[in-house]
């Protein structure tokens, strides 16, 4: 793919993919090079056949999702992989090993809501306050935990409104290619103040303002030096909330909140279009 292209053009093409996607692709490329070396396959010798044999190696027990990831990664450097043969093999892979939902059932949202309501925002230490805020944001936004790290509090990205707060995500989400600037609105909950995301954000800012230095990230690590919370930190917070609420985290991971919340609101009369829109599903 790089043949004949300048470094600046290549960098723009790579910018279409998120850093996490580039990291996954780089891992595939490294494995591909090792496989070619072991098999004695050369990139220029029957490139398509070598790429197909590598990508669709079902004998190793790869899932269909893994096969798709391998195929997508290699197609970016092996143009001939975007052919009818690769399409037919991928369709066959889907039929031979169908993609199945990760969860066959969901947990009770009320367990998590009741636990979150029991944590008082005025008295909770910073770690518990962080866990509660991350949990409420994930529930309200129907968000991936990675999206919570895109929330910033400077005036360009956070605006106080009469009904609550609005955030503009500072970067692309997982499902966005070139678009960015998704707006998330939190409405002040007068009926359930113990579960109000706006009040929790306001209290969190009161507590963390002396710790912030120059960072604009909403979520900070609860221990010194209070740097911006990473995706893994936020994931651990949400996992801790699930476990404390009595939900089996050996089965249900933080990402299960998206499906659980969506099923809950769907059962309460929300349309499929509204569920897909709020969950940022295509």
Please state the domain count of the chain: 2
1 assigned to some structural domain: no
Query: How deeply is 238 buried, as exposed, middle or buried, from its count of CB atoms within 10 A (0-12, 13-18, 19+)?
Result: buried
Report yes or no: 137 and 129 within 8 Å, Cβ to Cβ: no
Of 96, 120, 135, at which residue does a domain stop?
Answer: 96
Both 228 and 89 in a single domain?
A: no
3-state secondary structure of 121: coil
Three-state SS for 218-260 is: CCECCCCCCCECCHHHHHHHHHHHHHHCCCCCCCCCCCHHHHH
Q: Is the pLDDT of residue 187 over 50?
A: yes
Q: Is the pLDDT of residue 258 over 90?
A: no
Q: Domain residues for 79? A: 7-96
pTM of the complete model: 0.72
Buried b (16+ CB within 10 A) or exposed e, 250-266: eebebebbbbbbbebbe
Q: Residue 186: CA atoms inside 13 Å, Cβ hemisphere, count?
A: 26
Report yes or no: 41 and 51 within 8 Å, Cβ to Cβ: no
Both 47 and 186 in a single domain?
A: no
Report yes or no: 200 and 136 within 8 Å, Cβ to Cβ: yes
Residue (of 157, 181, 159) closest to 171 by Cα position: 181
The CATH number given to whatever domain includes residue 54 is 1.10.150
Whole-angstrom distance between the N-terminal and C-terminal Cα of the chain?
29
Both 60 and 183 in a single domain?
A: no
Q: What is the pLDDT of residues 2-59, one digit of tens each?
A: 455 666 766 766 666 777 777 888 887 787 777 777 766 554 455 666 666 666 555 5
pLDDT grade, residue 178 (50/70/90)? Answer: very low
pLDDT more than 70, % of the chain: 71
Report yes or no: 262 and 279 within 8 Å, Cβ to Cβ: yes
Both 262 and 127 in a single domain?
A: yes
Rounded CA separation 269/267 (Å): 6
13 Cβ contact list (under 8 Å, min separation 6)? 1, 5
What pLDDT score does 59 carry?
55
- Residue 191 is encoded by which pair of tokens? 């009926």
103 assigned to some structural domain: no
Q: Which residue has tokens 């249900």?
A: 252
Q: Is the N-terminal amide bond of 225 cis, ω within 30° of 0?
A: yes
Mean pLDDT value of segment 100-111: 81
């Amino acid at each position: 793919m790089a043949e004949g292209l300048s470094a600046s053009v290549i960098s723009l093409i790579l910018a279409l993919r998120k850093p996490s996607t580039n990291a996954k692709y780089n891992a595939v490329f490294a494995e591909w090079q090792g496989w070619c070396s072991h098999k004695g396959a050369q990139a220029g010798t029957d490139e398509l056949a070598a790429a197909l044999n590598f990508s669709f190696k079902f004998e190793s027990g790869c899932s269909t999702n893994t096969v798709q990831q391998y195929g997508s990664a290699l197609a970016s450097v092996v143009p001939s992989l975007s052919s009818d043969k690769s399409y037919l093999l991928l369709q066959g892979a889907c039929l031979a090993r169908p993609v199945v939902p990760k969860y066959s059932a969901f947990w009770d949202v009320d367990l998590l809501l009741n636990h979150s309501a029991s944590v008082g925002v005025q008295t909770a230490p910073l770690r518990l306050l962080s866990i509660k805020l991350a949990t409420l944001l994930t529930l309200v936004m129907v968000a991936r935990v990675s999206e919570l790290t895109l929330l910033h509090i400077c005036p360009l990205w956070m605006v106080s409104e009469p009904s609550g707060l609005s955030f503009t995500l500072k970067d692309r989400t997982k499902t966005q290619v070139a678009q960015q600037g998704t707006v998330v609105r939190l409405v002040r909950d007068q009926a359930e103040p113990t579960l109000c995301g706006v009040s929790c954000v306001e209290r969190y800012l009161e507590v963390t303002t002396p710790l912030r230095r120059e960072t604009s990230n909403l979520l900070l690590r609860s221990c010194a030096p209070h740097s911006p919370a990473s995706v893994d930190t936020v994931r651990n917070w949400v996992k801790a909330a699930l476990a404390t609420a009595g939900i089996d985290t050996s089965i249900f991971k933080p990402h299960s909140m998206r499906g659980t919340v969506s099923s809950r609101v769907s059962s309460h009369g929300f349309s499929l279009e509204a569920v897909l829109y709020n969950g940022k599903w295509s």
